[in-house]
Structure 1
Amino acid sequence: MRCPFCGNLDSRVLDSRPADAGQAIRRRRECGECGKRFTTYERVDEVPLVVVKKDGRREVFDRNKLLSGLIKACEKRPVSVERLERFVAEIEKELRNRMEPEVNSAIIGELAMDWLREEDEVAYVRFASVYREFQDVQNFMQELEKFLKR
């Protein structure tokens, strides 16, 4: 495994453990050249899951992109990154279990919003404001009213 710090190909595994509810193996490594430590994840190589975007473009599902959006929504909120990683793993598992090669981005967005609605109200509003692409305060208020009715 290439060291992200010095590029050396020689590293040794210090610790291995299951991650993402058994869907991956997390390995702590130490570079044989610079001595710095880093983490890698090993996953089963699966058939790509293609996401169909709002504008019709298609791109391969990127769990890190979803995780990044959720982390931004939950910034300075009491939601741990580990909890977010487990949720992203659940979403990916659900999408792959559908056995469909393509999934509409709206499905992923709605799954994320449903979870955030229950997990953290502020994070939900933050995520919704980006996901729904509010054009003005009126759109924002309509979403808040829907949220409060639930």
Structure 2
Amino acid sequence: MSDTAIAAAPIVSALSPLVGAAASGLVVGLGGLLFAVVARVTGIAFAPDYQARLEKTADAEVQAAIAGAENNLATGKFNSGNPLVAQVANALIANSPALVARLGLNGDEIKHEIVKAIGRAQTAMTAANPGSPK
């Protein structure tokens, strides 16, 4: 009987990290599922949900600004004092007042989110460089 236990020891030690990773993933997945169920049943969303919605909304407003711009804004430098940033921030506040109120953000914080969204858009535009023609 003890020979069997000794023979299984290398197998158990080899599989131990895999079992640990699977258990950890299961716990994280169940936790996420639990938060989703609580949010759906109670209507209470958690701050990361609202932050993700704010980022998605900011991205959409920036894409609309890019579509209406004379250039594609890929190479410009933007900060919170830029008139375009203020214009997009005002559009975000006008189109999503409940989201802004829920997060308790002020105008400067919204402008900062818009600058980050422009940065994400610029990164996406420059990351798709097909290379130089041969």
TM-score, structure 1 normalization:
0.27
More helix by share: 2
Q: Which has the larger radius of gyration?
A: 2
TM-score by length of 2: 0.30
More strand by share: 1
Structure number with greater CO (CA < 8 Å, separation at least 6) is 2
